[in-house]
């Protein structure tokens, strides 16, 4: 029996995590027409504080040079699933002629902007993680606010509502810009 | 494994009696005990402090830190070692009464009256280049937190060693000259599969299962040129290892600049199949159970500078033999011969970001797991290293590690036996070994 304790422990932890202990592997379904891509691109529809703490970043130390020299930041802090890959769904949050701050997840269908800063995808507001402290900074934010807290994803939206919020976010991006 | 040079057949030359598996304390010396070779050039450049390092090698140092790897990474490493052993045979012998467990020191044997032992020194060295690590790390896309899987293999213990013995006795009638040369090779390969998982915003948990395989090849050549006869012999011994264990660990970010890590590694149950080729063929199988390892580490991040320190504790006196009654009889000797040790590693890194360059240095204190009377100067060393971040996807890390220690051991030069071929007493040479090793590690990682 002792030989199986490590296996059981590992299995229990994975099960706990997939059930949402803290790490969330799968986004809760909020709208029947939503695809996985929607969950990845329309974060601020439901998460008003997405700009303050975009998922994918970790609470921890972000040295200055991760921001000043983007290759460091990309290597050590930028999740691979924020990149655009050829097999991705080609539905993006903004149009191809969008002239604001492009996120690293490019809408052109090409490989993402490799030397970008650590700005998370579809976050056109201020940079989110405060330098060298790892603490959360409150940005000017550009997205719409649903008044819901992070992780509160139980709200169901119609397509029309969602599109309206996306439009709002585009404008907000132009106003806010990046902090860097 | 055992240090076989301590029961070589040379004794039979002098007393015309074969040496059986005598209850000699040196027989419980295990080459896998306290034998950490190290992997990951970044960690090794910082004294071997890896508990808080974030790259694929975290699978073996601290799986919880896998959770900090955001991209798919393939990590490949090579190592080079030059091992040098300078031995000196003391000008005294000691007589060992096997009714006591530990040899008494500095008892002059009366059996060699007329012969004056001479101090003999000799050197031997061995160089090897080995594959050191190959690790694949795969982060699972998450909406919150982190879940990262790792799969890989490292060379966790290294058996590449060399030793040479030179001793002679002088008398008016002539001299007795003994020369022995020893080469060992092989290593313990650790295969691992594990994960790192965020269980809160600032706490990560990690777990890994490890499979151990390995081979130890031992070659001992010995010749004796006595007054009226000569003798030479060679022993080849091959051990094959198979075992497994697990590790669980935590990584905590206490503040923006301070992080801590803890780990516990379960005992390893190593099955050993041993073949002996030395005139007669012999085969034996037994288990070696290595004890728990408790590890902790800390990191202090000051923007461009990072300071890391690791401490781990292992009570090697809890090591046991099993699955073989004859070997289990030695378990009491293990408690007498081994001790608990605390390993300490300290390292620092300074990043010159614009150049993509990291400068590293470290110090380590890695005490031998044996009792202090067998240690002349404990194992310690320093390390230096460089790291390059190329483009934004690849790192190349280099490390140089210098280590040294000095120990002593007995060499059975002659022995007396009872009618059952059980050893009654022996006359031992005392050999001091001054060992230095220089290692180079190169690790490259690509993040997709």
Contact B199 A63 (CB under 8 A): no
Domain that holds residue B245: 4-447
Domain at B343, CATH number: 2.40.160.60
pLDDT, residue A79, reads 85
- B209 to chain A, any CB pair closer than 8 A? The answer is yes
Residue of A nearest to B141 (CA): A81
What is the mean pLDDT of the segment spanning B212-233?
86
Q: What values do phi and psi take at B333, rounded to 5?
A: -65, -35
Residue in A7, A63, A135 closest to B301 by CB? A63
> How far apart are the CA of B149 and the nearest CA of chain A, in angstroms?
11
Contact B353 A69 (CB under 8 A): yes
Q: What is the pLDDT of residues A102-125, one digit of tens each?
A: 344 444 444 444 444 556 655 544
Note whether A112 and A92 are within 8 A (CB).
no
Contacts of A27 in chain B (CB under 8 A): 143
Measure the CA–CA gap between B259 and B302, rounded to whole angstroms: 12
- Residue A51 clears pLDDT 80, i.e. is over it: no
Selected residue with higher pLDDT from B413 and B140? B140
Residue of B nearest to A66 (CA): B353
Residue in B207, B209, B353 closest to A65 by CB? B353
Is residue A20 very low, low, confident or very high in pLDDT (cuts 50, 70, 90)?
low
pLDDT, residue A116, reads 46
- Residue B351 clears pLDDT 90, i.e. is over it: yes
- Is residue B18 exposed (0-12), middle (13-18) or buried (19+ Cβ within 10 Å)? exposed
Is residue A3 very low, low, confident or very high in pLDDT (cuts 50, 70, 90)?
low
pLDDT, residue A92, reads 43
Contacts of B353 in chain A (CB under 8 A): 65, 68-69, 72
Q: What values do phi and psi take at A27, rounded to 5?
A: -75, 135
**Candidates A1, A6, A72, A105, partner chain B, best to mutate (most B CBs within 10 A):** A6
Is residue B69 very low, low, confident or very high in pLDDT (cuts 50, 70, 90)?
very high
pLDDT, residue B100, reads 58
What is the mean pLDDT of the segment spanning B317-324?
90
pLDDT, residue B73, reads 94
Q: Which of A145, A136, A159, A139 is nearest to A31 (CA)?
A: A159
- B71 to chain A, any CB pair closer than 8 A? The answer is yes
Residue with token string 């986004």 = A27
> How far apart are the CA of B340 and the nearest CA of chain A, in angstroms?
25
Q: Where are the beta strands (DSSP E) in B172-229?
A: 174-200, 203-225
pLDDT, residue B212, reads 95
- Counting one residue from chain A and one from chain B, the pairs whose CB atoms sit within 8 A come to 132
Q: Of the given ranges (A81-90, B138-147, B265-274, B362-371), which has the lowest mean pLDDT?
A: A81-90
| b/e B158-190 (16+ beta carbons within 10 angstroms → b) | bbbbbbbbbbbbeeeeeebbbbbbbbbbbbbbb
Which secondary-structure segment (H or E) carries B345? Answer: strand B340-352
Measure the CA–CA gap between B130 and B349, rounded to whole angstroms: 26
Note whether B381 and B405 are within 8 A (CB).
no
Selected residue with higher pLDDT from B46 and A97? B46
- Is residue A130 exposed (0-12), middle (13-18) or buried (19+ Cβ within 10 Å)? middle
Contacts of B269 in chain A (CB under 8 A): none
Note whether B11 and B414 are within 8 A (CB).
yes
Selected residue with higher pLDDT from B189 and A146? B189
pLDDT, residue A171, reads 33
Residue of A nearest to B356 (CA): A72
Q: Of the given ranges (A27-36, A115-124, B232-241, B432-441), which has the lowest mean pLDDT?
A: A115-124
Is residue A88 very low, low, confident or very high in pLDDT (cuts 50, 70, 90)?
low
**Candidates B52, B144, B350, partner chain A, best to mutate (most A CBs within 10 A):** B144
pLDDT, residue B215, reads 94
Selected residue with higher pLDDT from B110 and B241? B241
Q: What single-letter DSSP state applies at residue A57?
A: B
∠ at Cα B52 (B35, B191), nearest 5°? Answer: 45
Mean pLDDT value across chain B: 86
Residue with token string 């507001």 = A125
Q: Could you write out the three-class secondary structure of chain A?
A: CHHHHHHHHHHHHHHHHHCCCCCECCCCCCCCCCCHHHHHHCHHHHCCCCCCCCECECCCCCCHHHHHCHHHHHHHHCCHHHCCCCCCCCCCCCCCCCCCCCCCCCCCCCCCCCCCCCCCCCCCCCCCECCCCCCECCCCCCCCCCCCCCCCCCCCCCHHHHHHHHHHHHHHHHHHCCCC
Q: What single-letter DSSP state applies at residue A166?
A: H
pLDDT, residue A66, reads 83
H helix intervals, B288-362: 325-328, 331-337
pLDDT, residue B19, reads 34
Contact A23 B207 (CB under 8 A): no
- Residue B440 clears pLDDT 90, i.e. is over it: yes
Q: Which of B133, B171, B168, B140 is nearest to B53 (CA)?
A: B133
Contact A78 B351 (CB under 8 A): no
Note whether A75 and B393 are within 8 A (CB).
yes
Phi/psi-derived region of residue B365, left when phi > 0, alpha when psi is between -120 and 50, beta in every other case:
beta
pLDDT, residue B174, reads 79
- Residue B300 clears pLDDT 90, i.e. is over it: yes
What is the mean pLDDT of the segment spanning B371-378?
86
- Is residue B65 exposed (0-12), middle (13-18) or buried (19+ Cβ within 10 Å)? buried
> How far apart are the CA of B198 and the nearest CA of chain A, in angstroms?
6
Q: What values do phi and psi take at A175, rounded to 5?
A: -75, -45
- B350 to chain A, any CB pair closer than 8 A? The answer is no
Q: What is the pLDDT of residues B90-110, one digit of tens each?
A: 887 777 777 654 444 444 555
**Which tokens go with B120?**
């003999």
- Residue B198 clears pLDDT 60, i.e. is over it: yes
Q: What single-letter DSSP state applies at residue A130?
A: P
What is the mean pLDDT of the segment spanning A75-85?
79
**Candidates A5, A42, A60, partner chain B, best to mutate (most B CBs within 10 A):** A60
Measure the CA–CA gap between B80 and B400, rounded to whole angstroms: 10
Q: What single-letter DSSP state applies at residue B99?
A: T
- Residue B390 clears pLDDT 70, i.e. is over it: yes
Q: Which of B134, B135, B154, B182 is nearest to B31 (CA)?
A: B182
What is the mean pLDDT of the segment spanning B274-287?
87
3-state secondary structure at position B301:
strand
pLDDT, residue B229, reads 72
Structurally, chain B folds into a number of domains equal to: 1
Measure the CA–CA gap between A34 and A134, rounded to whole angstroms: 32
What is the mean pLDDT of the segment spanning A37-63?
68
pLDDT, residue B345, reads 95
Name the CA radius of gyration of chain A, rounded: 18
Contact B207 A26 (CB under 8 A): no
**Which tokens go with B220?**
């001992």
pLDDT, residue B242, reads 95
Residue in A7, A23, A55 closest to B197 by CB? A23
Distance of CA B243 to the CA centre of its chain: 17
Query: pTM of the entire structure?
Result: 0.79
- B289 to chain A, any CB pair closer than 8 A? The answer is no
Contact A21 B141 (CB under 8 A): no
**Candidates A22, A105, A115, partner chain B, best to mutate (most B CBs within 10 A):** A22
What is the mean pLDDT of the segment spanning B148-156?
95
> How far apart are the CA of B387 and the nearest CA of chain A, in angstroms?
12
Note whether B32 and B22 are within 8 A (CB).
no
Is residue B385 very low, low, confident or very high in pLDDT (cuts 50, 70, 90)?
very high
Selected residue with higher pLDDT from B408 and A140? B408
Share of chain A above pLDDT 90, in %: 0
Share of chain B above pLDDT 90, in %: 56
DSSP of B108-160, one letter per residue? PPGGGTT-EEE-EEEEEEEEEEEEEEEEEEEEEP-SBS-EEEEEEEEEEEE--
pLDDT, residue A42, reads 67
Measure the CA–CA gap between B377 and B60, rounded to whole angstroms: 29
- Residue B405 clears pLDDT 60, i.e. is over it: yes
């Amino acid at each position: 029996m002792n030989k199986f304790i490590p296996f059981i422990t590992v299995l229990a932890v994975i099960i706990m995590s997939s059930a949402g202990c803290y790490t969330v592997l799968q986004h809760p379904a909020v709208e029947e027409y939503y695809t996985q891509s929607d969950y990845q691109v329309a974060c601020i529809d439901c998460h008003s504080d997405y700009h303050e703490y975009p998922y994918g970043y970790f609470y921890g130390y972000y040295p200055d040079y991760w921001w000043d020299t983007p290759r460091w930041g990309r290597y050590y802090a930028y999740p691979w699933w924020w990149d655009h890959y050829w097999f991705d769904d080609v539905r993006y949050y903004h149009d191809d002629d969008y002239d604001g701050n492009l996120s690293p997840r490019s809408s052109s269908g090409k490989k993402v902007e490799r030397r970008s800063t650590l700005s998370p995808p579809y976050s056109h507001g201020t940079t989110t993680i405060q330098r060298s402290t790892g603490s959360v900074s409150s940005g000017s934010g550009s997205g719409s606010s649903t008044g819901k807290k992070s992780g509160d994803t139980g709200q169901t939206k119609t397509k029309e509502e969602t599109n309206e919020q996306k439009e709002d976010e585009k404008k907000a991006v132009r106003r806010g810009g990046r902090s860097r | 494994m055992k240090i076989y040079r301590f029961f070589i057949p040379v004794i039979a030359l002098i007393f015309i009696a074969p040496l059986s598996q005598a209850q000699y304390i040196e027989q419980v010396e295990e080459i896998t005990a306290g034998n950490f070779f190290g992997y990951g050039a970044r960690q090794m450049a910082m004294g071997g402090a890896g508990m808080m390092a974030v790259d694929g090698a975290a699978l073996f140092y601290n799986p919880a830190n896998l959770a900090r790897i955001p991209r798919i990474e393939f990590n490949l490493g090579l190592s080079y070692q030059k091992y040098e052993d300078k031995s000196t045979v003391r000008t005294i012998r000691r007589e060992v009464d096997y009714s006591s467990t530990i040899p008494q020191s500095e008892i002059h044997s009366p059996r060699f009256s007329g012969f004056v032992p001479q101090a003999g020194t000799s050197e031997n060295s061995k160089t090897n280049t080995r594959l050191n690590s190959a690790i694949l790390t795969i982060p699972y896309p998450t909406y919150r937190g982190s879940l990262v899987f790792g799969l890989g293999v490292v060379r966790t213990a290294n058996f590449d060693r060399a030793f040479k013995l030179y001793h002679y006795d002088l008398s008016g009638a002539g001299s007795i000259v003994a020369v022995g040369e020893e080469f060992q090779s092989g290593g313990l390969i650790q295969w691992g599969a594990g994960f790192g998982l965020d269980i809160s915003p600032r706490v990560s948990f990690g777990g890994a299962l490890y499979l151990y395989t390995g081979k130890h090849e031992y070659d001992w050549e010995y010749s004796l040129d006595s007054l009226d006869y000569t003798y030479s012999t060679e022993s080849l011994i091959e051990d094959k290892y198979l075992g497994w264990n697990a590790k669980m660990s935590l990584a905590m970010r206490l503040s923006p600049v301070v992080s801590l890590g803890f780990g516990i590694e379960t005992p390893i149950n190593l099955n050993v199949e041993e073949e002996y080729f030395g005139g007669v063929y012999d085969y034996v199988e037994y288990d070696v159970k290595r004890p728990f390892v408790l590890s902790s580490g800390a990191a202090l991040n000051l923007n461009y500078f990072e300071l890391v320190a690791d401490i781990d504790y292992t009570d090697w006196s809890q090591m046991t033999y099993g699955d073989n009654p004859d070997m289990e009889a030695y378990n009491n000797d293990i408690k007498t011969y081994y001790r608990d040790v605390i390993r300490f590693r300290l390292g620092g890194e300074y990043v010159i970001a614009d150049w993509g360059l990291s400068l590293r240095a470290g110090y380590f204190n890695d005490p031998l797991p044996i009792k202090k009377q067998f240690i002349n100067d404990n194992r310690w060393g320093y390390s230096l290293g460089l790291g390059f971040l190329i483009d934004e996807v690849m790192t190349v890390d280099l490390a140089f590690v210098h280590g040294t220690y000095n120990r002593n051991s007995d060499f059975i030069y002659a022995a007396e036996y009872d009618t059952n071929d059980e050893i009654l007493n022996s006359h031992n040479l005392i050999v001091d070994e001054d060992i230095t090793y220089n290692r180079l590690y190169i690790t490259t990682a690509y993040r997709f």
